[in-house]
Structure 1
Amino acid sequence: MARLAVFVVFVLNGVVFGTWAARVPALATQIGANEATLGLALLGASIGLAVTAPIAARLCAAYGSRPFMLGSSFLSVLVLPLLAVATTPLQLGLALVLLGSTVATVDVSMNVGAVAVIRALKRPLMPQFHAGWSFGGLLGSLGAAAAAQAQWNPMRHFVTAGAIGLVMLLAVAKHAPGGVGEKHRDEPVAQKSVLKSPVLWLLASIALCSAIAEGASADWSALFLVRERGLGEAAAAYAYAGFSIAMAVARLFGEPIQRKVGPHRLLAAGGGVAATGLALAVLVPFPAAGYLGFGLTGLGLAFSFPVVMDLASDVGRRADGTGGERELGLVTTIAYTGFLVGPPIVGGLAHASTLTIALGFVGLVTALIIPATLLARQAGRRFNAAEASGVNVAATLSSVAPCNASATSNDRSG
């Protein structure tokens, strides 16, 4: 039941995100924003995410993830309708700061809960948990498309979605795992500095590139198809639905795929597919190419977050099977800077040129996942070899000579 409870929280978090992200065109009209001012308003969510994530990680490490997973999930669905009362870009930005803070806490705590379940079951289930988030995003975006087609205003739509979210949360709340926080352990826990780990920084850079691409697809795909390809709002909302479907299906079958090809090959191949998808969407001037391109982008990005989270938690794992919360917090925080810088960059580039050029730039950023993954694999091998031999990890990683030790379970066949 703990596995199901965490999965439902992933779904709920995706529903919240997909619900408001797919209604960006309606919100833009509501506040009278162009691409540049809308990008600044969307920055609010990213600020809330980036500021709150490291705090949430420290709290989960100290007290366990359960109270923060449940409390922040409850708050996120209550905050959602606040977006519908905004009438200026500033008001929307402030509402998004609050929503971003609650979503960040949900994100960190649900990943910590997922790690606890994964370690208990000894299975690479992280892609399946993130499939729950993608299915939630799909449900949220389909609901947004239906609401737009029925000409529901954002308030009616967001209140309805929030009520459904509360029912989902109440159904599984008592089964949510919590873990043992550091404050409740009998013995003090020695803390490593996560800021000094090259492996984590490389993993975080992969998550950063992925977040920029994912955020651009969520925030701008519908508006791109409306303003650059001439589609209606309801039809354009299905672009993010296609993105979410591709991502969700790929993640659902992630466990056997990750076992077969290894995490690093999976990350590199996914980066290539995502970059190709964005290139297709922006270079081929037909709506069908846009749908296909964003679908490929979702497929390629499907494993970036879950696999990176899996690898990051292993870096911080202690001998007793606990640990990894702070490592997840660092990677999540860096990833959220992608959501932080993505909206104003895309909005600014679109305002100075076109949204097509702006999304083309995002495609180039996405392609950087490939070299970052190759470097992360090499650094991970050195880290594992240093851990096994008991030598100073930082000194080993800074060495010029490569380590020829065989890959461990973190590296698998990747």
Structure 2
Amino acid sequence: MDECDRRSPLPPRTFPMMILAPPALLFFCNALLFVSLFTRLPEIQETLGVDKAVLGLALLGAPVGTFMALPLAGRVTERLTPRVAAPLMLAVAGLITPALTVAPVWGFFLLFLLFGFFRTIHDVAANMISTGIEKRTGQKVLSRSHGFWSIGLLVGSLISGVLAGREVSPLLHQCGAAIVVVLCCLVVLNIAPVEPRQARVPLAGGRRPVFVLPDRIIILICIMVFGIGISEGAVYDWGIFYLREILHADAATAGVLYAGFTVGMGATRMVGDGLRERFRPLLLVRGSATCVAIGLAILLSTSGLPLAALGLFLMGCGVALGFPLAVATTIELGRGPAADNLAALSLTLLLSSIGVPPLLGFVAEHVGLTASFALLLPFLCLSFIMAPVAQGRVPRPLQRFVPVAKPGEKDAPAPVSPQDAVRG
């Protein structure tokens, strides 16, 4: 244990906001960049001259980039340190986005691939900054850090609604967002404390694997939050389309209604660290899945804009803690280097939040947007069932497939804690 880890926790009332500022800026800018692009997808689709099915295929560039970044994310983050890697990768991703608004469909795919590549490394580094703060100070800040992602979504969606209503081109809009992001990344480099490099732990065989695959615990965690993740991604990808095509909201109104989703997410994440201290993770996961399902049911059953805003608000509240809970569980239960565990987690979660929702474009094009959103409900039930994983337990339906070692068995240690049961 290094000297930083032996520091005593700071009293809650003396917690300095400057400690939270670097991850807060990073998550805020990441969301601002993301929502500035996704809220202008209808105009980008019109420029591309393609239908929703082809647009969905083009959006698959990001998860392909994520998959390519997986072998490198942990190494880059460790080599540069999270303090440098997070703002650098986000700035590069930001500089790519203006070209996405004017590229042909094949260029959109390639550029979106690069966007996913650099953003994946950023996600790993930014989460390591937040979890590092928790280790050094004893204060839970992970949910609040992600809360600034939600604030970025809120600010970005409101600005997008105004700019779309005034017919500002997506190119100018994205250029402005990229400039803001690059400037904030420079601020992060100046205010983030310099942290000592972590000592590398020798691995069995003496070599680090070239390609880091998710192990059993990471897979179980991802299955647990899969329904929540694809619900969040579906709102990002197709929420604006649903508001404009099904509920017939104009561009400015759709941006304001979309903000209801981000308000719910941001408010819940800002109190999320307190919720993590008061309630068991199992209850938080099940409450999240239930809240998303209720909001989705309201959205699908109404034709009025106020009720649609309520539905989106509840969906935002429900998805808020999905990723923070997944990261916290990974740090607590995962084996091996934290950077590699978070890289594997980012791959599978980004495949759910960015990879699967584009496939819903085929359903939206051939059956309808309502049907594509309705498909989320069975996966939310899956998240509800898998909630015990958050506390290190295998759900009953999976115990026959994920056996727990019994006392006295050869070559298998007896489980002395619930975490051992999950790790197998």
TM-score past 0.5 threshold: yes
2:238 to 204, 220, 234: 220
Checking the alignment, whether the CA contact within 8 Å between 1:44 and 1:93 is kept in structure 2 is yes
In structure 2, distance between residues paired with 1:212 and 1:150: 31
Deviation at 1:168, TM superposition (A): 1.7
Matched, 1:353 2:370: no
Gaps of 5+ in 2: 1-17, 396-401, 408-413
Letter in 2 for 1:167: L
Checking the alignment, whether the CA contact within 8 Å between 1:72 and 1:102 is kept in structure 2 is yes
Checking the alignment, whether the CA contact within 8 Å between 2:36 and 2:156 is kept in structure 1 is yes
Deviation at 1:221, TM superposition (A): 0.6
CA RMSD, 1 decimal: 3.0
Matched, 1:49 2:76: no
Compared CA separation, residues 170 and 63, structure 1 to 2 (3 A): closer
Deviation at 1:110, TM superposition (A): 0.2
Moved more, 15-24 or 232-241: 232-241
% of aligned pairs identical? 25
TM-score norm. by structure 1 comes to 0.86
Letter in 2 for 1:331: L
Structure 1 equivalent of residue 290 of structure 2? 272
Deviation at 1:128, TM superposition (A): 0.4
Deviation at 1:290, TM superposition (A): 2.2
Runs of 4+ in 1 over 6 A off after TM superposition: 190-194, 400-408
Q: Deviations over 1:120-151 (max 9, x none)?
A: 11122211010011111212211211110121
Compared CA separation, residues 281 and 165, structure 1 to 2 (3 A): same
Structure 2 equivalent of residue 148 of structure 1? 164
Matched, 1:23 2:40: yes
Checking the alignment, whether the CA contact within 8 Å between 1:218 and 1:240 is kept in structure 2 is no
The SS at the match of 1:231 is coil
1:365 to 379, 404, 414: 379
Q: How is 1:262-341 mapped onto 2 (pairs within 5 angstroms)?
A: 262-316=280-334, 323-341=337-355
Structure 2 equivalent of residue 170 of structure 1? 186
Moved more, 258-267 or 172-181: 172-181
Deviation at 1:208, TM superposition (A): 3.0
Checking the alignment, whether the CA contact within 8 Å between 2:281 and 2:390 is kept in structure 1 is no
Moved more, 337-346 or 153-162: 337-346
The SS at the match of 2:248 is coil
In structure 1, distance between residues paired with 2:298 and 2:278: 29
Structure 2 equivalent of residue 115 of structure 1? 131
Checking the alignment, whether the CA contact within 8 Å between 1:206 and 1:373 is kept in structure 2 is yes
Deviation at 1:263, TM superposition (A): 2.0
Compared CA separation, residues 238 and 94, structure 1 to 2 (3 A): farther
Checking the alignment, whether the CA contact within 8 Å between 2:237 and 2:358 is kept in structure 1 is no
The SS at the match of 1:398 is coil
In structure 2, distance between residues paired with 1:142 and 1:50: 32
Structure 2 equivalent of residue 391 of structure 1? none
Compared CA separation, residues 97 and 121, structure 1 to 2 (3 A): same
Checking the alignment, whether the CA contact within 8 Å between 2:101 and 2:170 is kept in structure 1 is yes
Gaps of 5+ in 1: 382-396
Q: Deviations over 1:290-328 (max 9, x none)?
A: 22212111100100101110110122478xxxx422111
Q: Deviations over 1:41-82 (max 9, x none)?
A: 222223223332452123324553223212112112211211
Matched, 1:399 2:404: yes
In structure 1, distance between residues paired with 2:31 and 2:355: 21
Letter in 2 for 1:96: F
Compared CA separation, residues 234 and 93, structure 1 to 2 (3 A): farther
Moved more, 148-157 or 285-294: 285-294
Deviation at 1:177, TM superposition (A): 4.9
